A and B are shown apart, each in its own frame.
Chain A
Amino acid sequence: MAGLSVSMEINGRAVGPMEVPEYTSMLDFLQEYLNLTGTKLGCGIGVCRACEVIVEGDDGELRTLRTCINNVGRFNGKKITTVEGHAQRNADGDIESLSPVQEAFLRHFSFQCGWCTPGFVNAATVLIEQLKKSPVAKDEVEATIDGALGKHICRCTGYVRYFHAVRDVIESTPGLLKEGD
């Protein structure tokens, strides 16, 4: 199979350049070539969003991308954050602190089995980053969360605890709500 030379930055670390078969999905690249298995296969056809990662665009803006339906070439040269890349770790790899979104999901008991968690962590993180740039009115918070996370599939906890956790983060983080609200 034809190879593709790829290099990218994943969770702050340079990966590559390395040769991978060109049709390799980004999910398979993470799992089978880099042994980063935090990003999950749910449906494999871009519906459930368990496999979403964060990609930094050329404009510096963060977006989520589904890794199951996009092949590795789309990520070539990009900066990527997977679920493994949110927490601060010490030199031994032990966790020192979590991101606000991770912390909120934990404290809200948002997930059970945890398979959909990576997708929720990444999508909620992107939402928070977007709100830092363009805050939302308080009465639009719920609809905003619906729009950002409404397509993710969770089978254990029925979404309630994820959504409430994100609402808490938005309401408790300064600058995410429009002034005057």
Chain B
Amino acid sequence: MEGFRQDRRNFVKLCTVAGITIFAAPALWQLGRAGQADKNAEPLRWRGEGADPAFRIDGLAKVTGDKIFGRDFRAVDMPGWLKQQHYAFILRCNRVERQFAGIDWAQLPEGAEPYARVTAQTLAENGIELPAFYGDAMLLAEGKSPHYYGHAVAILLFDDFDKYATAKQALQFNDAVIQYGEKAPAYRRDPYASWRIIRQQGEGGPTGEDLYSPLHDGLFFPQYRDRKAEWPTHADQAGSVSERGIYYADRIRQRIEREAADGNWHLVEGDYSTQIVEPMMMEPEASNGWFDSDGKTLHLVLTSQSPQDFQEMAAHMIAGSRFAGRVENLVVHSGFVGGGFGAKDHSIFPYYGAVAALFATAPLRLANNRFEQFQAGLKRHPFKMHNTLAVDRKSGKFQALLADMQVDGGGRQNFSPSVAMVGASAIQGIYYFPRNDIISVARQSMNVDSGSMRGYGTLQTMNATEMMVNRAAHELGLDPIELRLRNAFETGWRNTQGAIPRVGVRYREMLERARAHPIWQERAERKRIFEQQHPDRFFGTGYAIVTKDYGTGGAAPSAAVQFDREGRLSLGIGFMEMGTGTQTSQAMLLEDILGAPAAECHVAEMDAWQAMRQFQTESPYTMSQAHQDKMAADPLWTPVVAMASSASMSAYFQSHVTLQAAQILFEQGLLPAARQLWQLQQVDPQKLQWRNGALEMAGQPSLPLARLAAEAHRSGLVTGVMAHAFNRWDWAEGTFELGGDKQVLMIDGLALRRGGTAERPRAKEYQLVKRSAVHYPPTDLNNAMVTYYAPCAALVEVAVHKGTGAVEILGLQNYLECGRPIVRQLVEGQIEGGVAMGIGHALYEYLPALAAGAGNGTWNLNRYQVALAGDVCVWKQQHEILAPESDGDPHKGIAEVVMIPIVAALVEAIFQATGKRFNDTPISPETLRRALNPEVL
């Protein structure tokens, strides 16, 4: 039997988890023609001739329909797999108020019977339990009441596509299949997490020491009673962290009341809420899995954004089950991701695929259709906020921010704790507040679970802030941009957590640019003229600006850069390609340092890193300083070995380590080669420059990269560098001995290649270089929550139809400050896509809660309205990417921020048009129609 043993050499051992060896397979797209993108005729080479690449590296494969996505691969496409393809689907509850009483199998059409039915009983018999991150009850047991709408009860396995399709058609919307019994009380549990961010600035003001803040004093937590958070009430200025916190919180609230009563401060107070949003990435989740029982190997093809995390947790899941002895190897394949937006990050879906595959007799495909994806896929958290903004009437300076937010996490915890935390830490937007008390509670509900969807809590909270600021300007009779200028955060100031952001902020510049724009300058005149010409429509202009933190406080990117004898550069990175162009932009990064872009960029690389032999221990977020200090002494230890991919993370974090590796490769490989060829003892790197792919120095013959590479290979110089970095709001600094020198580098793991023949980074060709010392950012930076920011602003003018409430975007100007863009077209595409999604959030996208919501399984795009081309001002939208201030500007993560300010800008434009102020999204045409025509039913 062909199978794992035969093909073992194609996979590389990653590590062993709980006795199961995790193997990483080459990224799937390399199986097909797409893997040889650079072998095409010259005009079809992605790099092109200009400063920017001609197109995306993955573009050719995507525009010609190659197999590159996880969902594309069938058994027959997988080398070494059994060729027969089996299929599965999941039965899910569409109600919660009664006990699940079993399945009426008689509903199955004749001739379309599954050969296996996996139920809670099957799982129990085999000891299979979900990883703790996801909670319990992977499949609901009979007699239990569903925890949430869409709770899975069974997986049906079919040995033939037509049987599968026939059964699915008969069962998917059939209310007689899942039977319900007794009425049962609702499933409830304590909130997933609670956060409180209290800060009182000290006498030193924005830059001085705080009287109290999370960074200064730490965090404290509530107790839970009746499923509700109860915060400590005892206040003591000299007491514990909580007593001091409550003391300052009370003082802030009292001060607000007093100053408001005295007429000194103007308060903007209100309830703000956001809706449940479906990420609606275009590729629904899928998996294909083959349990090769002879080879004791489980092979999986996934559509995941976070395959590394999946591997580890899945290995634990299997190791803890009766399959422990029967599965010794786990091989995970990943492809390109057909859109993620967070929906495929730590999704529970691949675990169903893995478990189903264990019970299949051939490769098993579990692929959501769109109804299923709506029913079971991760959503964007809806927030309910009660916020107060206090503004000094005289100066227009913000004095305090109070927020109390309820975050609905749905039926499974997933990332709800951190979404609630990030949302709370972001609510300050671009402003400085001398005092704040921000409470955020992530709670369980019977809705479909929400996860790390694009925006990650900040879209929800920052837009509320922008709505409040716009309202404050209106109520105080101030120009909205002027009010913002008076309150904009400055570089070096403290945020609501008491931390000082690491990236310079250019809010003033962005505000001034918008203020000078004709859409803003002429807004009154444009309104007058437009409304005169169109008596059936209102006209309004709105502005909003936000700044999005990016990073997780535990980033751990890896990169490997190498060249062959011909000087072809290849790059391996840990990040996935989720569509944002990571592969292309990372490949381009090499050009400045190594004279050419990477000819190949291998994304989602997982195997090569084992050359660095790193290991991790506790969670980087909760480990003690003592633990970190103790472990750091081991040169192979790192706080985090590998990280999940998210669109906002690649530009900054992945770029950092890619550049570090490239720089080392230059200094240890190309520079010595140049010295040898030029026969010089010393070369001043300052005097070198790349031109047309050749290294030049005055008075010396120019050296093409190929020549240098050949020399480096010939004389045993470094030909490949692999590095790992760690960032906790600051980079870890490791000391390594390189070429006889001790160097302090912003990495904590390193391996080098000399010679070597592999086209892509291979662990066995690399040799570990152990660090001699390391400095990790202190663990108390975990309290800082966020310190990296990229700002984005939107200026929009709209027409609102008086009769229908339809909003028509007439003009739109975006501003983005992203540091140094790597590939401009990719950034622009990101902005335009973000704007479209933001418009959808503001005006259209909506899922009701509970029984009427997505969990009932009947939702799809006929009802769920996303923005179409006609909704986004496709011919007229403009954007400006602020020029970097210097070559040293970072590459900032911007994938999330670009969708955010358009929301509040639209809300304000609608207010300016109609005089109706909305605090809740979406403002659908129906909502507006009713508001504008209350006299009509």
Contact = CB atoms under 8 A, between A and B. Distances in A.
- Determine direct contact between A and B, CB below 8 Å: yes
A45 B861 contact: yes
Contacts of B336: 113-114
A155 B341 contact: yes
B850 interface: no
Interface stretch (B90-98, B226-234, B866-874): B866-874
B339 interface: yes
A57 interface: no
B860 interface: yes
Q: Which of B68, B112, B162 gathers the greatest number of chain A CB atoms within 10 Å? A: B162
Contacts of B833: 112, 154-158
Contact of B369 (A39, A44, A102): A44
B58 to A, nearest CB: 7
A52 B281 CA distance: 18
B41 interface: yes
Contacts of A82: 65
B738 interface: no
Nearest to A3: B162
A101 to B, nearest CB: 9
A170 B327 CA distance: 57
Interface stretch (A59-67, A131-139, A159-167): A159-167
Interface in A93-111: 93-98, 102, 105-111
B206 interface: no
Contacts of A156: 282, 339, 579-580, 829, 833
B581 A86 contact: no
A55 interface: no
B64 A38 contact: yes
Nearest to A82: B65
Contacts of A6: none
Contacts of A50: 282
Contacts, number: 221
Given A83-B64, A87-B64, A155-B866, A48 B282 contact: yes
B283 to A, nearest CB: 5
Nearest to A112: B579
Contacts of B830: 112, 157
A109 B56 contact: yes
A52 B76 CA distance: 25
A94 B40 contact: yes
A21 B55 contact: no
Nearest to A119: B282
A23 interface: yes
Contacts of B283: 40, 113, 115
Nearest to B169: A23
Given A94-B39, A150-B870, A151-B868, A157 B829 contact: yes
Nearest to B339: A113
B6 interface: no
Contact of B834 (A96, A108, A158): A158
Contacts of A149: 869
A83 B63 CA distance: 7
B860 to A, nearest CB: 5
Nearest to B37: A95
A45 B44 contact: no
Interface in B383-413: none
A108 B832 CA distance: 13
Contacts of B371: 44
B282 A95 contact: no
B932 to A, nearest CB: 26
A107 B55 CA distance: 5
A109 B63 CA distance: 11
Given A28-B165, A146-B870, A159-B836, A113 B862 contact: no
B62 interface: yes
Contacts of B73: 37
A82 B73 CA distance: 18
Given A112-B579, A149-B869, A159 B832 contact: yes
Contact of A155 (B69, B169, B337, B339): B339
B862 A45 contact: yes
A94 B836 CA distance: 35
B60 interface: yes
A156 B831 CA distance: 9
Interface string A143-181: 000100111111111111111000000000000000000
B829 A109 contact: yes
Q: Which of the four size classes fits the interface of chain B?
A: 35 or more
B63 A43 contact: no
B59 interface: yes
Given A114-B579, A115-B283, A159-B832, A153 B66 contact: no
A132 to B, nearest CB: 21
B836 A38 contact: no
A45 B860 contact: yes
Contact of B63 (A47, A102, A146): A102
A110 B55 CA distance: 10
A23 B165 contact: yes
Contacts of A102: 63-64
Given A95-B40, A155-B837, A43 B370 contact: yes
B416 to A, nearest CB: 23
A95 B65 CA distance: 12
B111 A1 contact: yes
B875 A35 contact: no
A32 B161 contact: yes
A91 to B, nearest CB: 13
Nearest to B36: A94
A161 B55 contact: no
Contact of B74 (A35, A97, A157): A35
Contact of B282 (A21, A97, A105, A113): A113
Contacts of B370: 41-45
A110 to B, nearest CB: 8
Contacts of B284: 41
A35 B281 contact: no
A156 B281 CA distance: 8
Nearest to B46: A106
Nearest to A37: B72
A94 B339 contact: no
Nearest to A92: B33
B62 A37 contact: no
Contacts of A128: none
B578 interface: yes
B166 interface: yes
Interface string B810-833: 000000000000000110111011
B585 to A, nearest CB: 11
Contacts of A37: 65, 67, 71-74
Contacts of A45: 370, 860-862
B483 to A, nearest CB: 30
Interface in B282-305: 282-284
B378 interface: no
Interface string B830-848: 1011111100000000000
A43 B282 CA distance: 8
Contacts of B866: 153, 155
**Minimum-distance CB pairs A-B, first 4:** A38-B65, A113-B579, A114-B62, A158-B836
21 contacts: A24-B162, A32-B74, A32-B161, A40-B283, A41-B71, A43-B862, A44-B371, A47-B862, A83-B65, A102-B63, A105-B59, A108-B825, A109-B59, A111-B63, A112-B339, A112-B581, A152-B869, A153-B868, A156-B833, A158-B837, A159-B836
Given A45-B370, A86-B64, A142-B875, 7 more contacts: A24-B165, A41-B284, A114-B68, A115-B281, A149-B869, A157-B832, A163-B874
Interface of A: 1, 21, 23-24, 28, 32-33, 35-45, 47-48, 50, 82-84, 86-87, 93-98, 102, 105-118, 121, 142, 146, 149-163
